[in-house]
Amino acid sequence: MADTSGAAHRAALFDVDGTLVDTNYLHTVAWWEAFRQAGHHVPMRAVHRAIGLGSEDLIEHVLGADRDPGQDGSISSAHKALYATCFDRLPALEAAGDLLRALADRGLRIVLATSADGSELAALRRAIDADDVIAGTASSDDVAQGKPAPDPVERALELAQVPASCAVFVGDTVWDMKAAARAGVQRVALLSGGIPRADLEEAGAAAVYQDPADLLANLDRSPLA
């Protein structure tokens, strides 16, 4: 079991979708279909670049601020229903659970920071299969604003009981990097979500790795060392 006492002096904060579980493209297709059902034909690349935002922000990012906001609820509900059909087969990225356990063994407190909640979060945690070392989860239910606002990362810091200077955030999107930067937390990015290295570095990533397996293999030379 992970140490959940106040003795932990460092923390590793993790995004989930695209960082620990290979779901970004599943989300992209589900959102694309939800938009199509609502009469909006949008390119998948535009949807993919918005993955990681909360539902309302994602819809605005894709359709623009001048859209009919009365459709937002139905589009979001359609996405949830479509994505839920994958819950029983969400694929963890290679070595995701091993990475969390390796960090916990080094005394870091593991906290997830995700826009997922409810049954979606439960499905993601089943895929990761590392509940024994996850000390807490900051979900969309816990914050007023999602990424790129700092709220999810700040909530994760509260759960980890460490200051920003003693934590590293690992994510896969520009929104992750921006949220962690605004919270004053060092940033590590993974390419497993499909976002280009240059974009992640421009958004503030201090180091970039291919996926959890690559980060685990280079852990001793990473900001998490």
For residue 6 the two structure tokens come to 């106040």
Task: Give me the torsion for CA of 146, 117, 202, 47, rounded to 10°.
Answer: -100
Q: How far apart are CA 18 and CA 79, in angstroms?
A: 17
Enumerate residues 6+ apart whose C-beta is below 8 A from 23: 17, 86, 90, 91, 124
Long-range CB pairs of 40-48, under 8 A, 24+ apart, other chains included: 48/24, 48/194
Q: Please compute the mean of the pLDDT values over residues 93-115 and round it to a whole number.
A: 97
Summarised one tens digit per residue, pLDDT across range 188-208 is 999 999 999 999 999 999 999
Q: Please compute the mean of the pLDDT values over residues 123-139 and round it to a whole number.
A: 97
Q: Please compute the mean of the pLDDT values over residues 138-148 and round it to a whole number.
A: 88
Q: Residue 164 burial by CB count (10 A; 0-12/13-18/19+): exposed, middle or buried?
A: middle
**Domains of the chain from N-terminus onward:** 10-22+91-221 (3.40.50.1000), 24-85 (1.10.150)
Angle between helices 72-84 and 55-63 (to 10 degrees): 110
| Residue 169, beta-bridge partner list | 13, 187
pLDDT computed for residue 9 by the predictor: 86
pLDDT computed for residue 123 by the predictor: 97
**Cβ neighbours around 39 below 10 Å, total:** 8
